[in-house]
Amino acid sequence: MKFHTKTTCFLLCLCWALTAQGQNFYYGMGGKAISIVPDPDRTCVHFHDAQVLSPTLRNSQAHEIHGDKAAYRHWTVSGNIRSAKLDHVARQLEVPQHEIRSLAQGYLIPGASHTMWPTHKILFKPNTSFDREEVEALIPEVIGHRFFQTPGGLQGLEIDQIDEVISISNALYESGMFEWCQPDFVVSSKASNYVPSDTFYQYQFYLNNPGYNALFYPYVVAKSGVDVKAEEGWNITLGQDFITVAVVDDGVEFHEDLEIGNTGVSRVLPGYTTTDTINGDGSPLVADDAHGMGVAGIIAASHNTIGVAGVAPNSKILPVHVYTDGTATIAEFADAISWAWQNGADVINNSWGLDECLPDGTHPAIEQAVVDAFTMGRKGKGCPVMFASGNSEIEDCISYPAGVPNSFVVGAINPFGNKPNYARFGAKLDLVSPTSQDDPASVTILDRMGNLGFNNSSITYEQHADVNYSKWFGGTSVSSATVSGTAALILSLDSTLTASDVYTILRSSATDMGDAGQDSIYGYGRLDMQAALMMVGSTLPVEWLAIAGESEAGAVKLEWKVGRELNNDRYEIQSWKNGAFETIGTVDGVGTTPLPQTYEFNDTDPIVGLNTYRVKQIDLDGSVDYSETLEVRYSASVISQIFPNPASDHFRFYVTTVDLHPVRVSISDLQGKLVERRYMDVESDWAELNYDVSHFKPGYYMVQVRTPDGRQFNQTLMIAR
């Protein structure tokens, strides 16, 4: 084993560092030392693997647990418990002792309130003097360690003993073999989610469910995270004012929480009344009609300092009045949907149903209106047509016309993540979204202004302190409206999407519940606003993950992976030839799937040398997308015919190859007896080789040229003088 002066110096420094506890702390970074000071009041518990923590640990008040996820590898705790034994800490935190890997003291950068906790890893960037064997020799054998490199190219060492991480990191840095070298730290951070300042937003558990003794009536302990990830979704977009959602219901009118800012200008457009086609504008007609107002607020209430927060607070509302009290006709329902798509609706919400289990085809007028909206709305791109699955549970029964062709059916789960006893379900269910618990209704919504609607004195509900709002709402009406608002946000990001695209995004991005895939209780799962909005644009029509290729005998094998597909028809594999990409093959796509897929294709006619490929993805509607380009060097050889033939004193041939190994030339007589064999050097990937036959007698010979990769060429040669 080699022993270096630098090694001796390093070990001395290391020994000093390991014994100088409580002295100067720093880490080396970019040619300077970053000073840090211990923070004994905060300890990080490192677990061996991500795990679901116990309810006590998640909700501990004694240790002021910091974090809001259910699965952790690191957990920071207030108080200095680092000196305690692991079994004591395990009992304190109510986790099995074997799941705790180590405890790490916190550090602060002086002058900053930036707490950091060392992990078991050291990160570095080697310089030109880096020598892995020297690094291995520098670390004492008693300290377990492993080199690693992340998929993104980050290099480092993992150290078993966490107390040695900082001193080893500094000593490595001082060895001169790294541009920078620093401990990996858990850092105190928090996602800056958008949070509305609306007065009653804290009651809207279906948008953000904190999971403790929730503030919605009747004040029950809810299950954390049973929401639609609204705040995360609003980080992406709050929507645009060019998107209009039609509310087919019992009327929508001006409200303080449906204004454009504080201008007094309403985002409620002039609408339509099916029973008064001349003068009606979609407003409520009876004093206690407020269902449509509640739905409109869930979809589009302003984000201001009053009232509630809507899913798509910049969208406009197009009110289409139809009686939902059992007195409307089939013609009125069909007319309401038809008028909506013909008069500017981008999304059509229907938080109503006929309360009957009827088969498709029962009322063709309504079904035709849905088909027309889906196929002809938005100038041919189609309107998403959302329906509530219905209330009052009947086994495997969706309230008609929910579930008719081209409709989208939304069911319900309660604040605990379970199906409420009132929510209808069935095979046609698309999604579920959180709403009120079983009984009573408990969703705070906007009401009609003043003593109208739910706060009408003639209604026996408990009155809300602010008469412009009500806490008596719920059911699948809330679920449908939440999904309609999300559809509006999706179209705000990409108004070129078809209605079918919107349906696919909502289904593919949902959080699966119950049985894997679609089921009759939860459909494709719980609405996830963040995931749905993240799919728009960046992953349409497919999410490219990787493309790779390798040279094989006689072919180049290509492989590409995608994360999900939306309405994908096929892939065309293209190769750069004659100054342009040419299609050399086609592979059918899966169509629509949220699951990752892997595809393969063999190019059996590559050029020798460098081949450039890309994959062209073609959607069902003809739109295209491309993978990144890929270069693959094909190492097979090509041998030309020999010339001149007949030959007098020599013959020539060309070899195209990339391995530059010698080729073997064998010359036999016509009886197969070997006359001469010679190995000829190849000095470039395109070579002309000259073979001297001046010493051969005139006559016929068999010439065989063979390359190291097994390619060979046989040709009869005539020598004449």
Could you tell me where the DSSP H helices lie in 145-207? Answer: 165-174
pLDDT-derived band at 103, boundaries 50, 70, 90: confident
List where CATH 3.40.50.200 sits in the chain.
Answer: 201-534
Contact by Cβ (8 Å): 247, 299: yes
For the chain, where do the domains classified as CATH 2.60.40.10 start and end? Answer: 542-634
Higher pLDDT, 3 or 225: 225
- φ, ψ for residue 655 (rounded to 5)? -125, 130
Place of tokens 């948008």: 207
Q: Judging by beta carbons within 10 Å of its beta carbon (0-12, 13-18, 19+), is residue 282 exposed, middle or buried?
A: buried
**Helix, strand or coil for residue 632?**
strand
Lookup: tokens for 212: 């403790």
CA distance 607 to 629: 16
The more confident residue out of 56 and 208 is 208
**Pick from 434, 447, 414: nearest CA to 297:** 447
For a pLDDT cut of 70, what percent of the chain falls above it?
Answer: 80
Which is more confidently placed, 13 or 508? 508
Amino acid (1-letter code) at residue 346: D
Asked if residue 566 has pLDDT above 70, the reply is yes
Q: Are strands 431-434 and 408-413 parallel, antiparallel or unpaired?
A: parallel
pLDDT at 208 over 60: yes
**pLDDT tens string 15-47:** 333 333 334 567 665 556 677 788 766 677 887
Under 8 Å CB-to-CB from 462, ≥6 apart: which residues? 471, 472
Please answer whether residues 45 and 103 qualify as being in contact, where contact means their C-beta atoms are separated by less than 8 angstroms: yes
How confident is the model over 602-644, as pLDDT tens digits? Answer: 998 888 778 899 999 998 877 778 888 888 887 666 677 889 9
* Residue-level pLDDT at 276: 92
Tell me what the pLDDT averaged over the chain comes to: 81
Q: DSSP of 669-719, one letter per residue? A: -TT--EEEEEEE---SSEEEEEEE-TTSPSEEEEEEEE-TTS-EEEEEEEE
Tokens 């004492």: give the residue.
140
Asked whether 349 and 299 are in contact (CB, 8 A), the reply is yes
pLDDT band at 488 (very low <50, low <70, confident <90, very high): very high
Which segment of 93-102, 296-305, 533-542 scores lowest on mean pLDDT?
533-542
Place 383 in a pLDDT band, splitting at 50, 70 and 90: very high
Beta bridge partners, 595, equal none
Res 25: pLDDT:
66
Q: Which pLDDT belongs to residue 112?
A: 55
Q: How many CA atoms lie within 13 A of 345 on its CB side?
A: 37
User: Percent of the chain, pLDDT > 90?
Assistant: 35
Nearest by Cα to 215 from 197, 203, 200:
203
Residue with tokens 């107390």: 163
447-453: average pLDDT: 90
Which is more confident, 490 or 169?
490
Contacts of 338-342 with C-beta under 8 Å, sequence gap 24+, read 338/369, 338/372, 338/373, 339/272, 339/274, 340/246, 340/248, 340/272, 340/373, 340/383, 341/246, 341/372, 341/373, 341/376, 341/377, 341/378, 341/383, 342/377
* 575, pLDDT greater than 60: yes
For CATH 2.60.40.1930, the residue range(s) in the chain are: 638-719
| pLDDT value of residue 4 | 35
- In sequence order, the 6+-apart residues with CB closer than 8 A to the CB of 632 are 549, 550, 551, 556, 558, 606, 610, 611, 613
pLDDT value, residue 692:
94
Confidence of residue 117 (pLDDT cuts 50, 70, 90): confident
Closest to 216 in 3D by CA, of 424, 452, 464, 447: 464
Look at residue 312 in the predicted model and tell me its pLDDT: 96
pLDDT score recorded for residue 555: 84
Count of helices and strands (H, E) across the chain: 12, 32
Taking residues 638-661, what's their average pLDDT?
83
d(CA 480, CA 482): 5
* Listed residue (351, 9, 292) closest to 174, CA to CA: 9
For position 49, what pLDDT does the model report?
Answer: 62
Q: What is the mean pLDDT of residues 486-506?
A: 92
Nearest to 709 by CA among 658, 642, 667, 653: 658
Take residue 421 and report the two structure tokens written for it: 């006893």
Q: Where are the beta strands (DSSP E) in 589-670?
A: 597-603, 609-619, 624-626, 630-634, 638-639, 650-656, 663-668
Q: What is the pLDDT of residues 232-267, one digit of tens each?
A: 888 888 898 999 999 999 999 999 999 988 788 999
In the predicted model, what is the mean pLDDT of residues 58-62?
Answer: 31
pLDDT bucket at 594, cuts 50 / 70 / 90: low
Instruction: Tell me the mean pLDDT in the region 483-489.
Output: 97
- Tokens matching residue 3: 């022993």
Asked whether the beta carbons of 563 and 546 are under 8 A apart, the reply is: no
pLDDT, mean of residues 658-666: 81
The most confident of 292-306, 356-370, 563-577, by mean pLDDT: 292-306
Give me the helices (H) in 185-250, please. 230-234
Does residue 51 carry a pLDDT above 60?
no
Contact 470/294 with Cβ under 8 angstroms?
A: yes
Burial annotation 11-46 (CB, 10 A radius, 16+ → b, else e): eebbeebbeeeeeebbbbeeeeeeebeebeebbbbb
Question: Would you say 444 and 469 are in contact if contact means Cβ atoms under 8 Å apart?
Answer: yes
- Cα separation, 77 vs 67, whole angstroms: 10
Query: How much is the pLDDT for 506?
Result: 93
Global pTM?
A: 0.56
- 638-719: in CATH 2.60.40.1930: yes
* Reported confidence tier of residue 190, pLDDT bands at 50, 70, 90: very low
Would the pLDDT of 528 be above 70? yes
- 538, pLDDT greater than 60: no
Q: Which residue has the higher pLDDT, 92 or 321?
A: 321
201-534, which class in CATH?
A: alpha beta
In eight-state DSSP terms, residue 364 is H
Residues 542-634, CATH architecture: Sandwich (2.60)
